[in-house]
Structures are given as C-alpha cells and as structure tokens.
A and B are shown apart, each in its own frame.
Chain A
Amino acid sequence: MSRDQNDLIKLLSDYVFEMEDEDIVDLANEYVEAGYDVEAAVMDGLVDGMSRAGVLFAEEEYYVTDILICSDALNNAMEVFKPLLLEKGEEVDQSPKIILGTVEGDTHDIGKNLVKIMLEVGGFKVYDLGRDVPLQQFIDVAIEKEAAIIGLSSLMTTTMTGMKVIIEKLEEMNIRDQFKVIIGGGAVSQFYSEQIKADGYAEDAISAVELAKTLVDV
C-alpha cells in the first residue's frame, strides 16, 4: 500500500528545504510509482520547499551555500519528474520571459545559477545563456524570445563593463525601452546600476525575484 499523496508531497517539500539532495531521488521515484499527479509534486512539493528555503535565506538563516544544496535536491527530483511533465508549448506559456547569463569574459556562475532557480520557482520562464556569453547574444535572444527582462551577471570588475555596452547597443538599435535590464554579481552595485542606467540591481537571488516581479508588473 503506497503512502498518501499529500504526505509524500509534504515530504518532497521538506527534503528540498532540508537539503536532502540524495534521499529525495528515492522519494520522487516512490511518488511516480504510486501513479500520483506529477505537476502537483513539482508545484506543492519541490517549489514549495524552495520557497521556504528562500524565506530563511532572507532571514539570514540560510546562506547561498545552503540554497545551492537545496537547489541540488530540487534538480535531482526534477530529473525523475521531467519526462512525465506535459511540456507547455512556448506560445501557450504565459509566464514572463527573462534572458539570463554571465557576461562575456566571465565564467563565474554559481550566483547566476541560483538566480535562475529562484526565478523559475517565482513563475518566470528563464532562458539561461550560460557563462562567457557574447554581449550581442543577450540582445539577439531577447528579441527572438520577446523577453521582458535581460538579467546580467558579473563577478569581476574586468568584465562588468560589458553590461554598459549592452545597454548602449540597445539604445543604438532604438529598442532600449523594449526590455528591462537588471544586473547582479560581486563586481557591481546599486551605484553602478544607476551609472549605466540599468533598470535595477539585486544583491542576491531572492531580491532578484522581487525586482523582476516589480518590473513586469509595471
């Protein structure tokens, strides 16, 4: 006799929240074998657990490194659930789109990867271009996907000038007001964001989601 669906969903949330990145795989398999609805497991289980972690992060109880392991737990469970999820067609998916990446010349992406997860948990569709992304590529993909926001990350002062270049290119192409540009990463600051006339700066993954939500509601 398999365990109750709601009990399992609560456990999935707990395992993400408590960083049980290894044991969660068995749990996810148990859920699937019982034949329960996978979408509920993702939304009320995994995403719920990540949100709880996000709250603790905002309260300084959890740190970046803790959130990383929570996200490992979430990803490991998603590996089990993904094949069973019905893919929403891109035209049907109404979630606001955001292009994300670490700017050209920079290969640091731990923080950016966390932002991606929190944005997905927060209801955004994220196109993660990865790291060392050529500046023009951010613009090209943003246009192609009709994104609402372009999110730029950089950890080094030597590469952050790429952010300014992207904003300048958008202006030259007369499409600056088509996108909101937000920045983050160890090298940059609120001050820099104002200097390069970006639309916002976020200090960490949680504030990034809050910032993104504010910008799409406008």
Chain B
Amino acid sequence: MKIKVRGFDGVIDYHPGQSEKTLWQILRDNNIDIGGSCLGRGNCGKCQVRVLSKDEFPMSEAENRILSHNDPERQHRLSCFIQPKADMEISIPSQEKNHRVLTQGFLPSFNYQPAITKGLFNVSQPTLDNPVPYIDFLKEALNQPSIDLEIITSLPIGEEFYTAVYSDTQLIGIEVGDTTDYIFGVSVDIGTTTVVATLIDLKTGLQLGSESEINGQTKYGSDVLTRISYVSDNEPRALQKIQQAINQTINSLIKKLSAKYEVDHHHIYEMVVSANTIMTHLLLGIHPGKLGRSPYVPVTADAFNIPAKQVGLKRCSPFARLVTISAISAFIGSDVVSGIYASGIHNNQKAALLIDIGTNGEIVFSNKGEMVGCSCAAGPALEGMNISSGMKAADGAVEEVKFRPDGVELTVIGNTEAIGICGSGILAAIREMISTGLITYRGRIIDPELLDEDDYRKQYLYVDTNNKRFVRLSDKIIISQGDVRQVQLAKGAILSGITALLNDCEFKAEDVEEVVVAGQFGAHVNEESLIGTGLLPEAFAGKIRYIGNSSHSGAYMAQMSLESRQAMNRISNEITYIELSILDGYERLFAKSSLFPRVTENKL
C-alpha cells in the first residue's frame, strides 16, 4: 500500500509481509523523523500525525489517555498506535523551521599550541654512486627510525619535498610536496539532540565557521536512555548502526564546512569531541548497556586519541586523529569538563557553581578549586517537551510572557504568529503565574470562581468540561495543570541538586560568590525567570553569568592548546561525583524544592 506524507517527495511503498508494522515504524524505516522519545512504545505522545485521508483507525483506551494530555483539542493521532491497512495520506505537525542553535560560547584567553603541526623536508635522491633505498633518505630527513608500511604504500616515491604531519611529537602521516599552509581541524560538540561542528585553521586558531545538524541518532531515541535501550534490545548490529548514525552526521557537517570555506577535507587532521558520556561511548563504539542500570558507571571515562578512521570518520585526512576528552561519570561527560575549564571555576579562588541546564542538569560546585558534581534528571520540560503547547526554540515559539491587566504580552521568536511555547517561555509564564497569584506556591492553578468579576486575572483562567483548569495565553497556547507540574519537577530536580551539593560541602547558597550558567537553555532564559520560579535560590541574584555553549568552547581550547587538553583531562580526576538518589533525606529535599516561591502579597 502507498503512504503519502505531505511535504515529502514521493510515496512510501509498504508491504506488511510477515508482521504488520505501526505507522511510526514505517516512517522511521523510511528515514522520516517522526519524533517520539519513547521509541514507539506508546508512552510519550509525541509521534503525532494528522490523518488526511479517511481516519478509520479505532482509538484504544491507551491512545485516548495519552492524547488527552498531549492533544486536548484532538486534532491528531499517535503514529505508534496506527497500523496502516490501505493507502493513506498524513501530515506531520512537528515541522520545525529555523531551529535556533547556540554555536558559540564564552572563550577565555589561552596560549595557542595545537597538537597538529607540520614540517617541510627536502629529501635527497638515490644515485648510482649512492644507491640508498628511497625510504632511508626519508627516514634520515625526518629523523625517524622507521616509517609505517601504510604510509610507504600510499606515498609517491622519489619526490624532492615532503611534508610531515605530527600530533604532538608523534609522526602521523606524510604528504608529498609543500602542504604546510594547510592545517585544519574540526571541533565537535555532540549533543544528544544537536551536533555542532566548527572548522578551525590550526595555524592561526581562526574559527572559520560552524554548522549544526540534528544528531542522526535521534531516530533511535530522542534521549540517552532510549538509545541505550535500543542498543541493548537489538543486538548484535544495533551498536554498529547507532555508531554509523553519528558518523554520518559528523561526516555531513564536515562536508558542508569544507565546501563552504573551500577547504580540502584531506587537510583536516584532527577532530576534537566534547560530549556527554553516553554520546562518547556510542561514538567510540563502546557498548553503553551498563550506563543505563545501577550503579550507573561508565565503561571508561578515559580520554582517547585514535585514528579517526577506526570509528568510521572518513571526511578528513586518512591519517586524521579523533580526540575525546575524559568524562567524570556516566551522566557528567566531557561537555561539562569543557564547561568547567572554559568557565575557569577550577582555578579562580571563589566559591563558584556551574550549572549546565538541559534535559539533564549537571551541577558542579568549586570551592577554591576543590570540586564536587552531580547530575539531576530535570526532564524535557525546559526544552519545551512534555508540555501541552510546547515546542523547541524555533520561529513561532513564545519565549517571554507578561501578564498585564489589559491582556497578555507575548514575545515570539522570529516575530511571527505564536504557534507554541519553548522552554524559556514556559518558565517565564510560570514566573508570571506565581507573581500574579494564578498558581499557589504548591503549584495549583487557582479556581476562577474565587475571583471577583472585575479581577483582571479572570481572563487568563479557563476551566474545561472535565473541570480541569488551564491558563490561557492565546487561542492556540494553553498551560495545563500537568504542564505546571512538569516545570515543578524540573525545578525540584535542579534546586534539590544544588542544595544537596552545597549541603555536602557545608556551604550556604548566600556564600556562593559566582554562578555560571551554561548550555543551550541557559542562554535564552533570563535571571528574572530563573529566580522568579525558584529554579535557582534567591541568594544567587546578581551573581549569574552566562557562558553559552561551553562544551563547544572547551573542544576548541582542547584543539588549540595541548596544555588545555591535558588540564581538562586532569580536571575530571579531581571532581568527586555525588549520586543524589542515595543521599539521606533526598526525597524530602526534592519534595520541598518543588514548591514555588511564596509571594508575600497574597492575592487571594
């Protein structure tokens, strides 16, 4: 049967064969990114499609329940519940335009001393009087006791000039002629969702430009745990497939960069990667199964420097190197190590806290260089997921909200019509709801019946036929009680992580001198929202600085400075990792951290 997806060329030809597949599986098999963080298990409600042809698919109780949370207006179906029986046409509502990705981060000054260097050599030629093998002249010129067979077989012999390529002091390759002008590297920040690559001229340190792409592994799951499950549940080829997926993304990024900046990819000699621990394992082809189970420990947290082709990276010099930075724990990776190094909290004399806010929040506290860290599962609410009208930070997303007596003021990315709300937007909305008393400190949306007729807040409240309360920002954008709870959970996770870490060091929030916020989300949100919602303690006001995509900055520094690279690898050894879930009284701390700040002037 034929399945047409609006917006995509051609049709999908589907033959049920042995077993019937769900629409979700069919779309994935055809490389259409349908979303769905639960990998088609019927759990997350995010694989929505609109059935444009006749919808004769019976709706089960299970699908109904999930749609009531995720699609209250019932415009969609979940593709993981649909089994196509005849030709059909669908559209996928989650088309995101112009997804804003943070490529840059704050960069402190440092000394350039990249690992990759080149040297030009004039090589003597054999003659009848001096019939020395060609390679011996080469060895002599380069001062090398031997030359690898692989180099010998790939090199034009008998030339006058050769360029040797080194990684630190190790000879990694030889090129014919004078190629000393062309030394390039790529810094890669591998995020679970987005991968950012930057092309760097290693002679000068100049960042020529960056490109970003959605991580090709998302078709195996949008979060790290789902990807781990994919590998564990689909032996034996799954690990290879998922490794290939990230390679393809990196190779594609390098292709774009080399075309755009007119650099021959054969002159790219080093890729430095900064990423969370699971992404690093998958890139290196290490089975991640153990990381998804207690005691949540990585297979290895070491740094690696290996031939790039060993993991399948091809769009570079055949003797290019892949360099990874060491990690701290299963859930605190080299991306955080990069962040620590770029922020400088490891060697300034202050009591400083670094927070990398994303789906997982990583928190590192440095007290005059002594560091402890933890990871908390904030959940995807802060990235606009699991939220009724939630979306990624792209055109059409509400990112700031103000409730005024005469109506709501929305700031929308791209200044277009508001079609959804992103992480910073939902946080801003909650901040407003707290300060105007539309929700209680316990997170309950108030009953509009209890407000006077002329109370301006009545216009924002809405109760549906099931007696469920909502806050309405526009016709399309609503905030449900469930959405508030999602933000509460995220806020509870992060605040309890901060508190637990500080308690462990016998420190108070007031005594923290500097708070560094890193990560995609952190850069788009303002201090007013972070403190107004109680995500960060009030005592942090005025002490916050943003460093943007510090994972990226760190990768760049590791590429341009051997000293930085070594320092970063040392840092990971110096941090004590604290597992929050085994701390005494953590449950109660989490519960109390989920409460919103109490507004002194109680409006009710």
Interface residues of A (CB under 8 A from B): 60-63, 65-66, 68-69, 72, 104-108, 110, 113, 131-132, 156-159, 161, 187-192, 194
Chain B residues contacting A104 (CB-CB under 8 Å) are: 293
CB-based contact B443/A63 at 8 Å: yes
Given contacts A72-B588, A158-B293, contact A191 B42 (CB under 8 A): yes
Contacts of B167 in A (CB 8 A): none
29 contacts between A and B (CB under 8 A): A63-B442, A65-B488, A65-B592, A66-B591, A68-B588, A68-B591, A105-B292, A105-B293, A106-B293, A106-B294, A108-B581, A110-B590, A113-B587, A131-B294, A132-B294, A156-B225, A157-B41, A158-B228, A158-B232, A159-B293, A187-B43, A189-B41, A189-B62, A190-B42, A190-B61, A191-B60, A192-B42, A192-B43, A194-B62
Task: Please tell me if B501 contacts chain A, counting CB pairs below 8 Å.
Answer: no
Nearest to B61 among chain A residues (CB) is: A190
| Residues of chain A contacted by B225 (CB below 8 angstroms) | 156-158
- Contact status A158-B42, CB under 8 Å: no
Chain B residues lying within 8 Å of A131, measured Cβ to Cβ, are: 294
* A-side contacts of B81, CB under 8 Å: 191
Please measure, in the bound complex, the distance between the C-alpha atom of A107 and the C-alpha atom of B330, giving whole angstroms. Answer: 15
Query: How far is A84 from B518 in the complex, measured between Cα atoms in Å?
Result: 54
B590 x A158 contact (CB < 8 A): no
Q: Are A105 and B294 in contact (CB under 8 A)?
A: yes
Interface residues of B (CB under 8 A from A): 38-39, 41-43, 60-62, 65-66, 81, 225-226, 228-229, 232-233, 289, 292-294, 442-444, 468-469, 481, 485, 488, 492, 581-582, 587-588, 590-592, 594-595
A72 to B488, CA, bound (A): 20
CA distance in complex: A113, B590 (Å):
14
In the docked arrangement, what's the CA distance between A62 and B65, Å? 21
Does B229 contact A157, Cβ atoms closer than 8 Å? yes
- What B residues does A66 contact at CB under 8 A? 442, 591
Contact A158 B62 (CB under 8 A): no
Interface centre among B39, B43, B232, B469 (most CB of A within 10 A): B43
Nearest-CB residue, chain A, relative to B579: A107
Instruction: Report the minimal beta-carbon distance from A184 to chain B, rounded to whole angstroms.
Output: 13
Closest to B288 in A: A158
Are A191 and B41 touching (Cβ within 8 A)? yes
* Chain A neighbourhood of B292, CB < 8 A: 105, 156-159
Q: Are B582 and A107 in contact (CB under 8 A)?
A: yes
Contacts of B228 in A (CB 8 A): 157-158
A136 to B468, CA, bound (A): 42
Name the CB-closest residue of B to A59.
B467
Report how far A62 CA is from B485 CA in the complex, Å: 10
Q: Are B444 and A61 neighbours in the complex by a CB distance under 8 Å?
A: yes
Q: Which residue of the partner chain A has the closest CB to B447?
A: A61
**Contact: B65 with A60, CB < 8 Å?**
no
Residues of A within 8 A of B590 (CB): 65, 68, 110
CA distance A161 to B591 in the complex (A): 29
Query: For residue B228, which residue of chain A has the nearest CB?
Result: A158
Closest to B379 in A: A186
Contacts of B233 on A, CB cut-off 8 Å?
A: 161
Contact partners of A63 in chain B: CB under 8 A: 442-444, 485, 488, 594
Q: How far is the CA of A189 from the CA of B39 in the complex (A)?
A: 13
User: What separation, in Å, do the CA atoms of A46 and B14 have in the docked complex?
Assistant: 60
Q: Tell me the complex Cα distance, A189–B590, Å.
A: 24
CA distance A118 to B239 in the complex (A): 42
- Contacting pair A60 B481 (CB below 8 A): yes
Listed from nearest, the 4 A-B pairs whose CB atoms lie closest are A158-B292, A191-B42, A105-B293, A190-B62
**Is A69 a contact partner of B592 (Cβ separation < 8 A)?**
yes
A187 smallest CB distance to B (angstroms): 7
Q: Are A68 and B42 in contact (CB under 8 A)?
A: no
Closest to A21 in B: B588
Q: Which residues of A have CB within 8 Å of B444?
A: 60-61, 63
Distance in angstroms between the alpha carbons of A61 and B445 in the assembled complex: 9
How far, in whole Å, are A188 and B292 apart by their CA atoms in the complex?
A: 16
Bound: A110/B581 CA distance, A = 9
Chain A positions within 8 Å of B294 at CB level: 105-107, 131-132
Q: Give complex CA distance A93, B81 in Å.
A: 44
